[in-house]
Amino acid sequence: FSSGRYKVKLTPGTQKKGKAAKIALHNFMQSKEASVREKDLFRSVKDTDLSRNIPGKVKVSAPHLLNRKKK
């Protein structure tokens, strides 16, 4: 997992899993490394499918996450 290109850290917190999934996906799409093809694939994933795989009540953390939220 450490060699993965896209990663976020999920820790116990107060966010709902649907919102956490949206934040993680938005973080991946705003990445400068993402190609057009990868961005299209990110858009094709439905939020419900993604949030099923995330445990409830989490906190999302990633490098430069606050900077990307403001944009």
| Per-residue pLDDT reduced to its tens digit, 14-63 | 999 999 999 999 989 988 889 999 999 999 999 889 899 899 899 999 87
CA distance 51 to 17: 6
What's the pLDDT score for residue 18?
92
CA distance 52 to 54: 6
For residue 25, give the DSSP letter. H
| Per-residue pLDDT reduced to its tens digit, 37-47 | 999 999 999 98
0.75 cut: is pTM over it? Answer: yes
The domain limits of the chain are: 9-53
Would you say how long the chain is, in residues? 71
